[in-house]
Amino acid sequence: MSGAVIRLWADLPGATINPNIYGHFAEHLGRCVYEGIWVGHKSPIPNEGGLRLDVLAALKQLRAPVVRWPGGCFADMYHWRDGIGSKKERPQTVNIWWRQAEPNRFGTDEFIRFCQAVGCQPYICANVGTGSPREALEWLEYCNFGGDSTLSRARAINDGAKPHGVRYWGIGNENWGCGGRYAAADYAKEFIRYGSFMKALDPSIELIACGCSPMDGQNPAFASWNHDFCNAMPHADLIDHLSLHRYFGRGDGIHFTESEYQALFVDLVAMERDLQLADAVLRYFYPDKQVGLAVDEWGVWHPSAIVDNGLEQANTLRDAVFAGAALNLFNRYAHRVSMANIAQTINVLQCLAMTDKARMVLTPTYHVYDMMRPHMGARLLTQEVESPLLEGHPVGLHKTFSTPALSASASIAAGKILLTVANQTWDQDIETRIDLRGTKAEIASGRILNASSPRDVNTFDAPKTVMPKRIRVEASHGEWVHVFPAHSFTALSLTLA
């Protein structure tokens, strides 16, 4: 068995972990919104005003903080007026990116009701590609304007007089690609136009500008998108977050090999590099403002997820351990990462739950979110991990890197430390000394997510194949030693003495 040490400095708490790091993303794509969230009032599937009750309960349990909507690529061809008012009068439009009909049954007011039922913040992505500043401004007026106008009256008729209070507004999605193939400086001009008017109407909103991970596309110009955008967008008052998207995939979703399994985890080195570069760019261009990084689309995207099947794929234990490692990484960058939205909430890509008519099954990834809940709003702890290393060639980078086989993050809140650890190895159990510097703990209990194979999945017939199990860790002679099994994710709660 290999050995490792995790050192935690409980007396050196750092940044607060923004709860929005545990956010979600729901696009009009395949069965995410329709079937996954919205079944309609008349459906035999138990629902509250058309919203599936099982899905609402699952997201409530996670205390899901924020959901991004309506896309994705769909956002830059969505016209919000098509989705309000009497359902009978709503047009049937074409969802060109995902090649399906858009019945417009689920629009702004349904989305807001969904967020209210879950207890999360809505995050709306406005249309830049085929829209206009006027259309976005009017959407904001419809949602947030508290005074008397034709649009606020329309909202009152459709959904009650109280403003929706939508705080997060994205200005387009992937505008270097499906959002209109802009050059960074041209997109900056659009961002300034949209932002100037929207912030004038409601200064309390937070705007998310479209950023880019270098590997989001094949075009070398993408490597400098964030720099070029910020260089052309000097108005720090307009920008609150810069978005990054990154999808990961190595081999088949289930029948991956050991080396593909390992390579997936090493690819997080590339994500960390995205964060470091974007952090440096934001520090340079907006030195006097804390502009956040919103990783508002991320997750695994396996080859089986194609447009024809609505981007549906198997979700294994490997994916869940990967999600835990990615979320640990976002926690460790809590000083800059202000939001992260896994793609996509239900049925699509690295979803948290899958539905089949009235049935719903939670994916292993769902359980990782459940286990990490106490990190939300807690203070990140200074940490050091010495563990065996994984070596490999991260996607898009031109040399070999090594990264600790144990991915960890720790936070403190209300006298308790939460330590979450992903053992990213295929087959190495790692005996680990947890060295609490500057403090002592009395008890440690927690949960582990593991299964006999990283390829294991939950199915409708066997929904509990990959489920967290309770564990208790005893200190021996004041030392905390714990074995983190291969391909597992563990959350340990340590109560301070």
Minimum separation from the CB atom of position 30 to ligand AHR (A)? 9
Binding mask 123-152 for ligand AHR (x = CB under 6 A): ------------------------------
**Spatial distance between the Cα atoms of 466 and 319, rounded to a whole number of angstroms:** 12
Taking CB under 6 A as the criterion, the residue among 6, 17, 62, 73 binding ligand AHR is 73
Helices 258-266 & 317-332 angle (0-180, nearest 10) = 20
**Spatial distance between the Cα atoms of 433 and 489, rounded to a whole number of angstroms:** 17
Q: Which stretch binds ligand AHR (CB under 6 A): 115-123, 229-237, 342-350, 433-441?
A: 342-350
Minimum separation from the CB atom of position 95 to ligand AHR (A)? 11
Q: Tokens for 88, please give them.
A: 């009978």
Sign of CA dihedral 114, 465, 445, 427: negative
**Spatial distance between the Cα atoms of 136 and 166, rounded to a whole number of angstroms:** 13
Binders of ligand AHR among residues 354 to 393 (CB under 6 A) are none
Q: Which stretch binds ligand AHR (CB under 6 A): 67-75, 104-112, 265-273, 465-473?
A: 67-75
Residue closer to ligand AHR (CB basis): 109 or 297: 297
Site for ligand AHR contains 172 (CB under 6 A): no
Residue closer to ligand AHR (CB basis): 8 or 343: 343
Per DSSP, 89 falls in state G
Residue closer to ligand AHR (CB basis): 52 or 245: 245
Strands 47-48 and 23-25, bridge-based pairing:
unpaired
Binding mask 275-314 for ligand AHR (x = CB under 6 A): ----------------------x-----------------
- Give residue for tokens 């403090």: 439
Strands 475-476 and 416-423, bridge-based pairing:
unpaired
Residue with CB nearest ligand AHR?
A: 72
**Spatial distance between the Cα atoms of 299 and 350, rounded to a whole number of angstroms:** 6
Per DSSP, 160 falls in state -
Taking CB under 6 A as the criterion, the residue among 30, 70, 72, 292 binding ligand AHR is 72
Site for ligand AHR contains 71 (CB under 6 A): yes
**Structural element, H or E, at residue 15:** strand 2-16
Q: Tokens for 65, please give them.
A: 């903080």
Residue closer to ligand AHR (CB basis): 138 or 216: 216
Q: How many chain residues interact with ligand AHR (CB under 6 A)?
A: 10
For residues 273 and 213, is the Cβ–Cβ distance under 8 A?
no
**Spatial distance between the Cα atoms of 250 and 217, rounded to a whole number of angstroms:** 17
Minimum separation from the CB atom of position 179 to ligand AHR (A)? 8
Q: Tokens for 77, please give them.
A: 């061809």
Binding mask 396-425 for ligand AHR (x = CB under 6 A): ------------------------------
Residue 446, CA distances (Å) to 16, 333, 343, 368 in order: 22, 24, 27, 12
Minimum separation from the CB atom of position 148 to ligand AHR (A)? 37
Minimum separation from the CB atom of position 236 to ligand AHR (A)? 26
Residue closer to ligand AHR (CB basis): 313 or 355: 313
Site for ligand AHR contains 27 (CB under 6 A): yes
Q: Which stretch binds ligand AHR (CB under 6 A): 57-65, 152-160, 343-351, 424-432?
A: 343-351
Taking CB under 6 A as the criterion, the residue among 344, 347, 403, 432 binding ligand AHR is 344
For residues 447 and 470, is the Cβ–Cβ distance under 8 A?
yes
Taking CB under 6 A as the criterion, the residue among 110, 174, 206, 456 binding ligand AHR is 174
Q: Which stretch binds ligand AHR (CB under 6 A): 65-73, 276-284, 356-364, 383-391?
A: 65-73
SS3 473: strand
* Positions marked catalytic: 174, 297
- Give residue for tokens 């990462």: 337
Residue closer to ligand AHR (CB basis): 209 or 349: 349
Q: Which stretch binds ligand AHR (CB under 6 A): 205-213, 268-276, 341-349, 448-456?
A: 341-349
**Spatial distance between the Cα atoms of 469 and 49, rounded to a whole number of angstroms:** 35
Q: What one-character-per-residue DSSP string does 330-356 give?
A: HHHTTTTEEEEEEE-SBSSSS-SEEEE
SS3 132: coil
Binding-site ranges for ligand AHR (CB under 6 A): 27, 71-73, 173-174, 297, 343-344, 349
